[in-house]
Amino acid sequence: GNSVTQMEGPVTLSEEAFLTINCTYTATGYPSLFWYVQYPGEGLQLLLKATKADDKGSNKGFEATYRKETTSFHLEKGSVQVSDSAVYFCARGDGGSQGNLIFGKGTKLSVKP
Amino acid sequence: NAGVTQTPKFQVLKTGQSMTLQCAQDMNHEYMSWYRQDPGMGLRLIHYSVGAGITDQGEVPNGYNVSRSTTEDFPLRLLSAAPSQTSVYFCASRIYNEQFFGPGTRLTVL
């Protein structure tokens, strides 16, 4: 089964609002954690990552901190823009040597002007 | 660098037909993989390869075949298409722990 759980979407926000998308995981050990973004009609792009506990990944104003105590990797942005409208996927490494990923179901974000 | 390319972008098949989804990368990555994306399901791994001549199954391999004769190419074959294979298919390559995705192929099986 899927061991990455994201908050259900869609999420609709006004421009400049604060964004949080929750992500929790189950795993043995401490897997690498990722957020990917998929803009309409495109493939997924890596947004940010964290490879060990307490690491903070950041990119394009987005941040997420690897919290081993709560097995979470919540995505945040202080002020969203219309151009941030996309589907966001949380993922973790599967723990194997091949580096396969296990994805959450995705959260669609729509930002209104 | 073109990155990861996929063809075709769209395809409609009838039940029982076969076809091959093409994937190529020009980054010399050893690792490549195929995922399918279904509404409300996220991405699920179909097959992957850690180098030319080496392939392995992912979470949902049934109904799909792969081969890896070169580092650059990793085609996905549907031997006898079924409506349950209607999906968006993404190919990816990986270096270290970063995956690079192609633009996807939207497949409809009638």
Task: Give the DSSP letter string of A44-87.
Answer: EEEEEEE-STT-EEEETTEEEE-BTTTTB--EEESS--GGG-EE
Distance (Å) from the alpha carbon of A27 to chain B's nearest alpha carbon: 16
Give CA–CA dist B89/A16, Å, rounded. 34
A1 contacts chain B (CB < 8 A): no
Which residues on chain A are in Cβ contact (under 8 Å) with B43? 44, 89, 101, 103
CB A8 within 8 A of CB A90: no
Q: Is B99's CB within 8 Å of A46's CB?
A: yes
Contacts of B106 (CB under 8 A, 6+ apart): B9, B10, B11, B88
Look-up of token digits 């006004």 = A14
Nearest C-alpha of chain B: how many angstroms from A32?
A: 8
Tell me: the pLDDT tens digits for A12-52? Answer: 999 999 999 999 999 888 899 999 999 988 889 999 999 99
Which of A31, A42, A102, A107 lies closest to A74, judged by CA? A107
Of the candidates A97, A94, A52, the residue with the CA atom closest to the CA atom of residue A73 = A52
**Touching check for A100 and chain B: CB below 8 Å?**
yes
Distance from CA of B97 to the nearest CA of A (A): 6
> Considering only alpha carbons, which residue of chain B is nearest residue A40?
B103
Please indicate if any CB of chain B lies within 8 Å of the CB of A57.
no
- Angstrom distance (rounded) from CA A39 to CA B107: 19
Query: A101 to chain B: which residues are within 8 Å by CB?
Result: 43, 45, 99
**Predicted confidence (pLDDT) per residue in B62-90, tens digit:** 999 999 999 999 999 999 999 999 999 99
pLDDT tier at A2, thresholds 50, 70, 90: low
CB contact residues (below 8 A), chain A span 79-98, against chain B: 89, 93, 98
**Three-class SS string for chain B?**
CCCEEEECCEEEECCCCCEEEEEEECCCCCEEEEEEEECCCEEEEEEEEEECCEEEECCCCCCEEECCCCCCECCEEECCCCHHHCEEEEEEEEECCEEEECCCEEEEEC
Could you say which residues from 57 to 76 on chain B have a Cβ atom under 8 Å away from some Cβ of chain A? 58
Rg (CA), chain B: 13
- Model confidence over B8-58: pLDDT tens digits? 999 999 999 999 999 999 999 999 999 999 988 889 999 999 999 999 999
In this prediction, residue A1 carries a pLDDT of 46
Neighbours of B20 (CB within 10 A): 12
The answer to whether residue A8 neighbours chain B at the CB level (below 8 Å) is: no
Tell me the residue length of chain A: 113
Band the pLDDT of B101: cuts 50, 70, 90.
Answer: very high
Q: What's the DSSP call for residue A7?
A: -
